[in-house]
Amino acid sequence: MTGSAHATGVPHGSAPVPRARPAGSFASLVELVAGGGVAVLSGAGLSTESGIPDYRGPTGRARRAEPMTYQAFVGSAQARRRYWARSHVGWRRIGQARPNTGHHAVARLERHGLLAGIVTQNVDGLHQAAGARRVVELHGGLDRVVCLSCRRRTSRTELDHRLRAANPGWEASGRINPDGDAVLTDEQVEGFRVVDCTACGGLLKPDVVFFGENVPRDRVDACFALVGGAKALLVLGSSLAVRSGLRFVTRAAELGIPIGIVNQGPTRGDADAAFTLDAPLGDTLGALAARLTGR
């Protein structure tokens, strides 16, 4: 099975719908954010400069296979072995990733009082690592693991140590997917040992939303409240290819809240945007923060 497991991905057959792009400028971006009260919606494109590939941008690869679903994960020991072997390899990249200029710029804008909050579709924790505080992880975070029986949460670092101990001498490598798992062959996966919850023996799952799961209702409501109470919505590095993120752009448009989009390539939200800016995220956001925070 190829393709990543989390709901942040792009299912087979879906693609950004080409729509008109109201071209903007750096001045448009400055004007939008300078007024304050901005809700940020970030996607995988913001993390590419940290070495994490995106889905459909310049460094991305369109999916060519169905991702693993929650139902497959809980229903098949073989599927769990495949997932954890791939994720164990991929975590080496995600766990070592560091915030880039874009993440630091967003955190600076927040500290300067210009942001109402951040909704991120990413599961890499880089917003928080850069110092941002008001972050809603729409799809959860890879740095945590949850037991599906007792709901106990533990750190991914602890699980990494346990998996290494359970698989002495096991080594594999493969192309890293945006959600942090690696593409491995069946031969590489064979023999990998999965570990269970130390408290109750239940199945362990990364604390992220898989395909086939719903984002918790209270989390969705918090995101809608953040967007609905904002003076503007700024989309950063997301093609908005799936409804999970697009719905917040749709809501902002319904409420008449101005929307700015900074992304390399078209998005499904372009027709609702006041402006779009096709530009590298790091340089653009770094310059924005410097302009508005005086640093």
Please count the residues of the chain: 295
How is residue 47 annotated by DSSP? Answer: G
Q: Does residue 240 sit within a domain?
A: yes
Q: What is the CATH number of the domain that holds 166?
A: 3.40.50.1220
Q: Which residues are catalytic?
A: 139
Q: Does residue 274 sit within a domain?
A: yes
Q: Does residue 12 sit within a domain?
A: no
Q: Does residue 5 sit within a domain?
A: no
Q: Does residue 34 sit within a domain?
A: yes
- Amino acid identity, residue 238? S
Q: Does residue 227 sit within a domain?
A: yes
Q: Which parts of the chain register pLDDT below 70?
A: 1-22, 54-66, 173-180, 295
State the residue range of the domain holding 182: 26-293
Q: Does residue 4 sit within a domain?
A: no
**How far apart are alpha carbons 70 and 65 in whole angstroms?**
16
Q: What is the largest CA-CA distance in the chain?
A: 57
Looking at residue 5, its pLDDT comes to 47
**How far apart are alpha carbons 232 and 73 in whole angstroms?**
39
Q: How far is CA 242 from CA 7, 34, 245, 250, 251, in A?
A: 9, 29, 6, 12, 15
Q: Which tens digits make up the pLDDT trace of 263-283? A: 999 999 999 999 999 999 999
Q: pTM for the whole thing? A: 0.87
Looking at residue 20, its pLDDT comes to 53
Total number of domains in the chain:
1
**How far apart are alpha carbons 236 and 42 in whole angstroms?**
5
The SS3 assignment for 138 reads coil
**How far apart are alpha carbons 285 and 154 in whole angstroms?**
34
Q: Does residue 45 sit within a domain?
A: yes
What's the token pair of residue 13? Answer: 């057959």
> How do the residues of the chain divide into helix, strand and coil, expressed in percent and rounded to 5?
40, 15, 45
Q: Which tens digits make up the pLDDT trace of 235-253? A: 999 999 989 999 999 999 9
